[in-house]
Amino acid sequence: MDFEKEIKQIQERNTRVELDKRWETCWTRRVCICILTYLVVVIYSYVIRYWSNIFLSSLVPVIGFTLSTLSLRFVRKLWEKKLK
């Protein structure tokens, strides 16, 4: 294998890893997770007024987490564009 090609692959990987680290600690990500979690809890609080059971209550963290992971991909792409 060509050493220059290997070095380039390692450099590209390092760039991706550095970007991942920056994303994990950035305020944009944290604020988005807070907002999404808040919205899920507000909707949950509205719904729970009418239905109250343990299975519905257990869905709150699952839905909040799932929404944050699904929507944060879009936010991350915007964040990465801003960095460039």
CA–CA separation, 60 and 40 (whole Å): 7
pLDDT in tens, 27-46: 888 888 888 878 877 887 77
Pair of tokens at residue 6: 């290997």
DSSP string, 20-49: HHHHHH-HHHHHHHHHHHHHHHHHHHHHHT
In this predicted structure, the answer to whether residue 69 has a pLDDT above a threshold of 90 is no
Model-level pTM greater than 0.75?
Answer: no
DSSP structural state of residue 84: -
Of the chain, the percentage scoring pLDDT greater than 70 comes to: 94
What is the reported pLDDT for 29?
85
